[in-house]
Structure 1
Amino acid sequence: MATDPLVEVAFELYALPPASFTAERNARAKAAKADDPALAKRIAALRKASAPAWIVGQLVRHRAEKVGQVLELGAELRDAQQDLDAATLTQLTKDRRALTSALAREGGELAAAQEVNAPPAVLDEVSQTLQAAMADADAAAAVTSGRLIRALEVVGFDPVDLTDAVAGPAPDGSAAPAPQVDELASRRARRAAERAVRDAEKALERATRASDEARRATAQHTRVRDEANKRLAELRREIEAAERAGAQAEEALAEDAKSAEDAAAAEADARDALEKARAALDA
């Protein structure tokens, strides 16, 4: 499909300092009028970019690698968002703001180099625009088109409003540094592997705690068993001693019984003798 000729013209015009835009736009429209009146009319209708949008365009042209890294990170975060918990998302949002703010400051330096004023409020809008590009693939395509004419903003989870945000035809997204399918698959596999590692670490932690508890329980039960066996051995010795004492007592009782029987017989004999002696005395 042929490229709209306005795209190239607009890209060149929005690369110029804002102060030079209007005069150059009018000159380009006048030059195109003879050969392509329709294109000339479209060129003349191009609106001057706002300061934040122009700075974003400078970043796209002069810090393309960093912008690409930021937008690629945004694509990765969008893809991973469903796998992240609230705390992680909150931290990533803070990191994203810090990253885009730093890049916005570089945009301010580029503006200063061309004697274009970039107060903090403008740089805040640059940062917001970069955050919008990280959060929305269509916004990323608008930013990387180099034809952005107004700042962008993220509102909740809604798609970024791109109405009248890009000069000329809407970008088809081909310029946006979107990760390839194999890259996304690789990242998904890496996140799955990271989750598996985290799950394995947690499982190991639980297993280690259970193992420690089992070892402590085993040690405690071993002590109880050893104490019980020791006491049982003592009781067995006491039982054996008692059994020996009982056997000895049985033997003594048998001897005592025989002695008592002998004593009873002797007593009976003595009584008989006494009675006989008394009878003899009486006689």
Structure 2
Amino acid sequence: MDVERVIDELYGVAPGEFVAARDARAAEARSAEDPAAAKRIAALRRPTLAAWASNRFVRERPEDVGRLLALGETLREAHRLLDPTTFREAAGQQNKVIAAEVRATAALAEEAGHPLSASVRDEVEQLLRAVLADPDIAAEWSAGRLTKPPEAPIGFGGITPEILPPRPPTPPKPDTGARTAAEKAAEKAAAEAARKDEELRSAEAQATEADARVTHLEEELRQARSDRRAARAAVAKASDAAREAHARANEARTDRA
């Protein structure tokens, strides 16, 4: 069995159908006496809706995938070199590209019968920002085998051109060396604004992480309820079978007597 092909196939299956498809392919591997393949397939985790939609986007829109990967390389290189001009230019493209690709991801999911809620779209957006910032996440995303997005944006994913202005030239110092009260007030205000910006970024990251946890738990709850229904049905079936077996046993004892 070509395990890599099977894995690619499974991560194209919608989340609600994933478990049944995975278990069926694992059973095929066992029937083919390929225990290593069966073990690997059985260990695959069901993707969240956001991860599945992202996997579908990667498979359906390779040109857009290449564009986002190239933009991520440009942003990371500018960030590494502390090049504000290049970073501002690339960051100016970032929000437009991400918005367009979130819309495309949602459209593909809706075509497949699984429209994305606002919270799931937010998860897709945060994933794309992480792709721009982290080459490892970019590689995982572009393979189309995600099981869940990162829980919060990382690196410079949330930086916009407004947050990274060009460095202004240093003004000449007054001949007297004395600073005015206005200059001191301006410095204090700038420091306070920077602190508030940092608090805002921290609060946004916490909110995004909480949203991701809620979505993941909701997915697990839906799966648990489905498993419970299946288990109860199995109990009822087994109970009926047991009663029939006892009845046949009693009839056999009566006939023998």
User: TM-score scaled to structure 1, two decimals?
Assistant: 0.50
| Aligned residue pairs, count | 155
Q: Which residue of 1 aligns with 2:13?
A: 16
Q: Which residue of 2 aligns with 1:69?
A: 67
Q: CA deviation at 1:52?
A: 1.0
Could you tell me which runs of 5 or more consecutive residues in structure 2 were left unpaired when the two chains were aligned.
158-257
Q: Is the 8 A contact 1:101 1:124 kept in 2?
A: no
Counterparts in 2 of 1:1-283, with a 5 A limit? 5-34=2-31, 35-83=33-81, 85-86=83-84, 89=87, 92-152=90-150, 153-156=152-155
RMSD between superposed Cα atoms in Å: 2.3
Could you tell me which runs of 5 or more consecutive residues in structure 1 were left unpaired when the two chains were aligned.
159-283
- Per the alignment, do residues 157 and 102 of structure 1 end up closer, same or farther by CA in structure 2, a change over 3 Å counting? closer
- Per the alignment, do residues 83 and 156 of structure 1 end up closer, same or farther by CA in structure 2, a change over 3 Å counting? closer
Q: CA deviation at 1:103?
A: 0.2
Within 2, Cα distance between the matches of 1:155 and 1:80?
A: 16
Letter in 2 for 1:155: I
Question: CA offsets per residue over residues 74-115 of structure 1, 9 Å max, x none?
Answer: 112222334454476356435313311210111101010111
Within 2, Cα distance between the matches of 1:100 and 1:125?
A: 12
Q: Percent identity?
A: 39
Within 1, Cα distance between the matches of 2:62 and 2:12?
A: 13
Q: Is the 8 A contact 2:12 2:56 kept in 1?
A: yes
Q: Is the 8 A contact 2:98 2:125 kept in 1?
A: yes
Within 1, Cα distance between the matches of 2:137 and 2:61?
A: 18
Larger radius of gyration: 1
Within 1, Cα distance between the matches of 2:71 and 2:154?
A: 20
Question: CA offsets per residue over residues 160-213 of structure 1, 9 Å max, x none?
Answer: xxxxxxxxxxxxxxxxxxxxxxxxxxxxxxxxxxxxxxxxxxxxxxxxxxxxxx
Question: CA offsets per residue over residues 133-164 of structure 1, 9 Å max, x none?
Answer: 12111111100111111112432369xxxxxx
Q: Which residue of 2 aligns with 1:211?
A: none
User: TM-score scaled to structure 2, two decimals?
Assistant: 0.55
Q: Is the 8 A contact 2:75 2:91 kept in 1?
A: no
- Per the alignment, do residues 11 and 150 of structure 1 end up closer, same or farther by CA in structure 2, a change over 3 Å counting? same
- Per the alignment, do residues 22 and 29 of structure 1 end up closer, same or farther by CA in structure 2, a change over 3 Å counting? same
- Per the alignment, do residues 120 and 91 of structure 1 end up closer, same or farther by CA in structure 2, a change over 3 Å counting? farther
Question: CA offsets per residue over residues 13-61 of structure 1, 9 Å max, x none?
Answer: 0111222211111110000013211211221121110111111101110
